[in-house]
Structure 1
């Protein structure tokens, strides 16, 4: 039996769910997470009001909801995700870290987000990493996220960079995937992964502007070090990444370099991830 695309994505995350958070142990993704957290603190959190409401659209195991709700005990949140296997871990985090009373976890397809949220409900909406890569109709999902925001609310998106997908797949010898990323804006980073949408800064900014969410920040990260094939898995580091991060001092110097570059608009095209903040007009 041939799986539908939604079923394919669900099965992909079912297999990965129990080990998904081990990504925190990989040196490359630790750097990426630290840069994302710095970007949130620079460009987003200072203007998030007290008592804010958070929507984590495609929040998975709750890695970023966990960090935000622990950092901001005044915030409440809704984590919405397709995978019951992933959200099981989000619920467990909420209990373990003492904010279960401030978080609602709901299972559902982002294509139907508006069925589960009300217009103007949230001060902040996040959708990180490959989530928008796996949706069938990106503009429609973004419209639903926009509708869920209060006037002045912010949408923060981290999405896969089409240009990096071309580079990565050439580097790993997956030329069919490189061509697909370049020509069709869709590709994968490893066998067994569902094909994903790929994004460019101008494309994403244009879509957000069209739906009434003007972009206030557009950048990319990391820009000095790129992942290898092993970073598409849950364990281990690629040889090149290990060579670059030879010791703690080297890691700190590279991180310092990345932090100095973080936020420069011209670097969006070079980032492994695109980072975009859009604000709903008041």
Structure 2
């Protein structure tokens, strides 16, 4: 079946311009707090220990938005410096404000640009770590081409880390809402979670492996999480939470027990298909 066109740059820019001022409010939603803690655990276990320490490291936050992950890395690793690259100035204006408020503005540069032209726009730049999280690769015209461009910005031995929407989770989500036609589109590789969001690409683990290998990268890990809890419709909004998830995750001891269970599944290849999002760590060969 024809899955239809991906959203245009203007549609994507308009969508995120409208969300910029409230985007960080997702930090108040218990499900996304859980997801973020798992992503940070995965970075802490599988990525950060592999980066240079004595001389520090340089990162590229590709499609970094309001700088939520630039902030976390820059504050956890004061030996790091980075470049946040995003299509929407209204989003990365918040990243600049965070950097100034928390004292790392001298270590983070923000630059406007289309990821479809990132290789050209950042020609000559090299990074130890390049990362793109959540729907970033979903919104580009050609994910394979962007991965190839990002690969070219890595230093030898550098890491490309992606956290992207799962095709199978999207189909489950839309079927749970009674949207059979949208679930069919999801299985064909395209779709969305709400009527207001731009149409995007959805991914499978094998598809991701192939795209990274074609780009000349070695795939070190493909995982997926969370695997035990899925978001409801409310979690697709910037405010509000599904009642059952808010009740379960809002109790601190229950949250910690669930987080411990989920952490125990990080990196397990046989759970990847259950992941709400797919997590990929790939490296550029040293020679």
Q: TM-score, normalised by structure 2?
A: 0.95
* Residue in structure 2 matched with residue 7 of structure 1 by the alignment: 10
* Residue in structure 2 matched with residue 62 of structure 1 by the alignment: 67
RMSD of equivalent CA atoms: 1.1
* Residue in structure 1 matched with residue 57 of structure 2 by the alignment: 52
Of 162-171 and 262-271, deviating more is 262-271
1:177 matched to 2:187: no
Of residues 94, 115, 130 in structure 2, which corresponds to 1:89?
94
Distance 1:253 1:271 in 2: 18
Q: SS of the counterpart of 2:122?
A: coil
- Contact 2:30/2:250 (CA < 8 Å) preserved in 1? no
Distance 1:229 1:153 in 2: 37
Distance 1:245 1:109 in 2: 37
Of residues 29, 32, 53 in structure 1, which corresponds to 2:35?
32
Distance 2:214 2:127 in 1: 20
1:114 Cα shift?
Answer: 1.5
- Contact 1:217/1:277 (CA < 8 Å) preserved in 2? yes
Q: SS of the counterpart of 2:193?
A: coil
Distance 1:250 1:97 in 2: 31
1:266 matched to 2:277: no
Q: SS of the counterpart of 1:263?
A: coil
1:243 Cα shift?
Answer: 4.3
* Residue in structure 1 matched with residue 248 of structure 2 by the alignment: 244
1:252 Cα shift?
Answer: 1.2
1:52-98 Cα distance to aligned partner (Å, 9 max, x none):
11000000000000000111111110000001110110110110111
1:175 Cα shift?
Answer: 1.7
1:247 Cα shift?
Answer: 1.7
* Residue in structure 1 matched with residue 4 of structure 2 by the alignment: none
1:120 Cα shift?
Answer: 6.1
1:246 Cα shift?
Answer: 5.6
Q: Which runs of structure 1 show a deviation greater than 6 angstroms over 4 or more consecutive aligned residues? A: none
Distance 1:211 1:118 in 2: 17
Distance 1:52 1:219 in 2: 24
- Contact 1:120/1:150 (CA < 8 Å) preserved in 2? no
> Pairwise mapping of residues 149-164 of structure 1 onto structure 2 (< 5 A)?
149-164=154-169
Change (3 A) 1:223 1:14: same
Distance 2:195 2:179 in 1: 10
1:118 Cα shift?
Answer: 3.0
Higher relative contact order at CA 8 Å, sep ≥6: structure 1 or structure 2?
2
Distance 1:264 1:30 in 2: 21
Q: SS of the counterpart of 1:142?
A: helix
1:195-228 Cα distance to aligned partner (Å, 9 max, x none):
1100001110111011111110110110000000
> Pairwise mapping of residues 141-156 of structure 1 onto structure 2 (< 5 A)?
141-156=146-161
Q: SS of the counterpart of 2:264?
A: helix
* Residue in structure 1 matched with residue 109 of structure 2 by the alignment: 104
Distance 2:173 2:67 in 1: 27
Distance 1:272 1:119 in 2: 35
* Residue in structure 1 matched with residue 257 of structure 2 by the alignment: 253
Q: SS of the counterpart of 1:277?
A: strand
1:232 matched to 2:236: yes
1:240 Cα shift?
Answer: 3.0
Distance 2:249 2:36 in 1: 16
The number of residue pairs the alignment matches comes to 278
